[in-house]
Amino acid sequence: MNQRATMDTVNELNRRNLSGVYILHKFEDEDKKQPTCFEDCPVAVQDKWLESLELDAVRNLAKILGGALREIGDQFDLVNDHDTYKKEK
């Protein structure tokens, strides 16, 4: 496998496109910015983008990400049964 094919594979892994909330972002090995889902961007890029949003936009983002998380959980029948999230009575 040549180096370019390996980079393309890495970028495909970097861009899983789960939420559908896109930011233009360029990974180090790329020539130009491309639509990249929020969750696939580095935290620094996420932080910068979040700082630019109005409160209603942040609320909508939370709802979209929550919906995507729920859909993934439903599709793969995932349940978090860690005690960390359970309240003791």
What is the residue extent of each domain of the chain? Answer: 3-80
Q: What is the predicted pLDDT for the residue at 81? A: 83
pTM above 0.85, yes or no: no
Percent of residues, the chain, with pLDDT higher than 90: 71
Q: What is the predicted pLDDT for the residue at 18? A: 94
Q: How far apart are CA 9 and CA 46, in angstroms?
A: 23
Q: What is the dihedral of CA 78, 79, 82, 86, to 10 degrees?
A: 160
pLDDT in tens, 8-25: 555 666 899 999 999 999
